[in-house]
Structure 1
Amino acid sequence: MRVRLLGTGSADGWPQAFCRCESCAAQRAGGVIRVPTSALVDDVLLIDGNADSPGAATRAGGDLAEVRHLLVSHAHVDHLAPQLLLFRSWVDDGPLDVIGPAAVLDACRPWVAPDAPVRWVEVHAGDAIDLGTHRVRVLPANHRVMAPGDAVLYDVTARDGGRLLWGCDTGPWDDAWVRAVAEADYDVVVLEETFGLATDVSDGHLHLESFAELVAALRGVGAVNDSTDVVAVHLSHHNPPETELRARLAVVGARPGRDGEAFSTADRA
């Protein structure tokens, strides 16, 4: 499985364009710029494609031309940009799967011609679907747009090898959710860590403490092991500057993701 992180920032990015706090200033000075989080898997599966994703793919030296499956966790604007379906149709009339909760599909349908070869796949936690060379298991998320259950997470397994947990967006997990991924032995866990040092903003996202607790819980059931690449994403200016953030995450065997970085699960030790 090949993974390209197109963005690793929160909805407002990091640094936040309207902010001059110490964290944002340090990121600017270090040239570390993060746009909202999304990823491209094996060139064909775009996860949480947002308005920044096309430009991010281009800046990374790639493109989205082979995308055949759009996998969306929920309908917040930093995870869903339905206009991408229109832009794609101008150059590519090949088949496309659009997968996500009902609100995602409702937002996307007006951007697609009635006769377009688009397959709409509504999903709920507990579902499992086959998408070409990938098997996707739908997991619950401690997050919501308007109502419980309208946000999900994804467990993606490639037929040729490699397993990815897409954990963005979510707050802390219930114990039952952790047990449900026991022995998953993920190669990569892409997990949100939005609120950094701020512990009192919202329980619909993770901060450094709750991120560490969830990673520890996943280790405890064999979902995360010593060779799992645990990547923190959806990072905001509530986090400390890059050097301190990297050190704090390293304590729990994780690291911050970088916009544009690419890696393969074949590299797993």
Structure 2
Amino acid sequence: MEIVLLGTGAADGWPNPFCRCDSCLDALRREDVRGQTAAMIDDEMMIDCGPEVPGAASRHGRTLAGVAHLLLTHAHSDHLGPQALLSRSWVAGTGELEVIGPSGALEVCRPWVGPGDPVRFVPVVAGDRIVAGGYDVRVLPAGHRVFDDGDAVLYDVTGPDGARVLWATDTGPWPAGWFAAVRGAGYDAVFLEETLGDREEISDAHLGLGRFGEMVRSLRSVEAVTDHTEVVAVHLGHHNPPLGRLVPRLREHGARPGVDGEVVSCGAPRRSAAGCRPGRTPR
């Protein structure tokens, strides 16, 4: 399984374009710009598609032409830019696109799809398990909401080669009972949000460094995270310290920050001692 990180930033990216805090100015100096968090798997599946994401794919040398399955976590605007469906309809010969997600997110998409467009909507809720092409997709709860409890989800995806990843953004802390759903998963990679840095008082619906560490420890306690799991922090925002200070703090939890455009290869045929092979190293 090949996961391309099309973006690793929070809703406002990192740096926030309106901000002069130390964290944002440091990112600007290093020309280290993170866009809205999203990923593409094996050029066939996307997870989330904010309005910046199609352009990011092109800038990273990727085409979305082969994407047949779009997994939506929720309807917040940085995760769902439905106008991409209209852009897709302007290209002749596109195959069927399966749009999978909570019903509220699908309703946002419907006005952007014409009656003849080859788009199929598949509503899901936490606890569902579906097959999308050659992928086994388990739908997990998120400690997050748009308007109502349950209208945001996370995804546990197993590829045709058996590689298994957890996509966990957006979410706040999980209640203890939720970890039973991932017991023994032994993920090859976990992409876990870390939005708030040291400002966790801002929101209960996201993780900062403290809650991120607690989440990783809890995943490790149920053997969802093991010694071979690559733990990658995504949905990073400017409430985090500058990257030079963030990297060692994430390393304390056995994690690292994701990088826009990097490729993470997982699964038995390509597995390294660490389980997955990152395509780029954070600067």
Q: 2:2, 2:41 within 8 Å by CA — same for their partners in 1?
A: yes
Amino acid at match of 1:112: V
Q: Which residue of 2 aligns with 1:153?
A: 154
CA distance in 2, matches of 1:125, 1:186: 19
Give the C-alpha shift of residue 38 in structure 1.
0.3
CA distance in 2, matches of 1:132, 1:167: 21
Matched, 1:248 2:252: no
Structure 2: give runs of 5+ residues left out of the alignment.
274-283
Q: Which residue of 1 aligns with 2:233?
A: 232
CA distance in 1, matches of 2:238, 2:124: 32
Q: 2:65, 2:94 within 8 Å by CA — same for their partners in 1?
A: no
CA distance in 1, matches of 2:101, 2:220: 28
Amino acid at match of 2:122: V
Amino acid at match of 2:32: V
Give the C-alpha shift of residue 79 in structure 1.
0.4
Specify the SS of the correspondent of 1:200: helix
TM-score (norm 1): 0.98
CA distance in 1, matches of 2:200, 2:116: 48
Q: Which residue of 2 aligns with 1:106?
A: 107
Identity %: 57
The structure 2 residue matched to 1:267, chosen from 250, 264, 271, is 271
Q: Which residue of 2 aligns with 1:136?
A: 137
Q: Which residue of 1 aligns with 2:34?
A: 34
Q: Which residue of 2 aligns with 1:25?
A: 25
TM-score (norm 2): 0.93
CA distance in 1, matches of 2:101, 2:200: 29
Q: Which residue of 2 aligns with 1:119?
A: 120
Q: Which residue of 1 aligns with 2:277?
A: none
Q: Which residue of 2 aligns with 1:69?
A: 69
Q: Which residue of 2 aligns with 1:89?
A: 89
Q: How many residue pairs are counted as aligned between the two chains?
A: 269
Amino acid at match of 1:267: R
Between stretches 49-58 and 32-41, larger displacement belongs to 49-58
Give the C-alpha shift of residue 118 in structure 1.
1.4
Q: 1:138, 1:154 within 8 Å by CA — same for their partners in 2?
A: yes
Amino acid at match of 2:164: R
Amino acid at match of 1:100: G
Give the C-alpha shift of residue 80 in structure 1.
0.4
Amino acid at match of 2:121: W
CA distance in 2, matches of 1:267, 1:159: 15
Q: 2:3, 2:39 within 8 Å by CA — same for their partners in 1?
A: yes
CA distance in 2, matches of 1:142, 1:58: 32
The C-alpha deviation readout for 1:69-91, integer Å capped at 9, x for no partner, is 11100000000011101111111
Q: 1:228, 1:268 within 8 Å by CA — same for their partners in 2?
A: no
The C-alpha deviation readout for 1:125-154, integer Å capped at 9, x for no partner, is 000010001110000000000010000000
Amino acid at match of 2:9: G
Structure 1: give runs of 5+ residues left out of the alignment.
none
Q: Which residue of 1 aligns with 2:279?
A: none
